[in-house]
Amino acid sequence: MLEEVGNAVTHGIGAGLAIAGFVLLLLKSDTGLKVMASCFYGISLILMFLMSCLYHSYKSGLAVKRIWRRFDYSSIYLLIGGTFAPMYLVYWENVLGIVLFCVQWALIIAGITIICVFGPGRFRPIHYTLYFVIGWSAIMFIPDWFRNDKPLLGWIVGGGIVYTLGMIPFVKDTKGMHFIWHIFVMLGAALHWFGMYLYVY
């Protein structure tokens, strides 16, 4: 019970910080495409933390908790897609970026549909694989980052490494591990946000 309180509180704080971060990104968005990217990114970040907070706020065994669990796992897909939005729509800002953005969101919608229909417990290896593959598709940006934006490369790859390392306690799912996963998520999200705010907008 105490661990679930910690899980809810950490991502409740994360939701509050995500709202503040969303506002700051909007203030730097001086084009329609930047506003669109900020909305995808900011709202997905808020939803991810909020869904997680609400899921962990309910007692185990309740039917409503099982519903929120689907939302919680689905929001991971949303965050991955939302985080890429500024990269595809603002950093690249070309037809290829828009096409890849649409392809990625088609995969995300497919993953979310599987969760909503079958629940997050079934086909779990598929979800873990999609989280990893979609998330690390960021490697396609590395040549551009290395040539033009080495600091951005550090922020984004650093955040990706933190998220990936966080998958270790997430997959183990033993006592106390989920709380550690939440800390990794907050750190990874912070690294990505600072990279976006400082070097993409």
CA nearest neighbour of 85 among 98, 75, 96: 98
Handedness of CA 82, 86, 87, 89 (dihedral sign): positive
Q: Which residue has the tokens 């971060």?
A: 21
Yes or no: say if 6 and 181 are a contact pair by the CB < 8 Å rule: no
CA 19 to chain centre: 14
Yes or no: say if 82 and 43 are a contact pair by the CB < 8 Å rule: yes
Yes or no: say if 97 and 89 are a contact pair by the CB < 8 Å rule: yes
Query: Any known ligand binding at 56?
Result: yes
Annotated binding site: 56, 178, 182
Annotated binding site for Zn(2+): 56, 178, 182
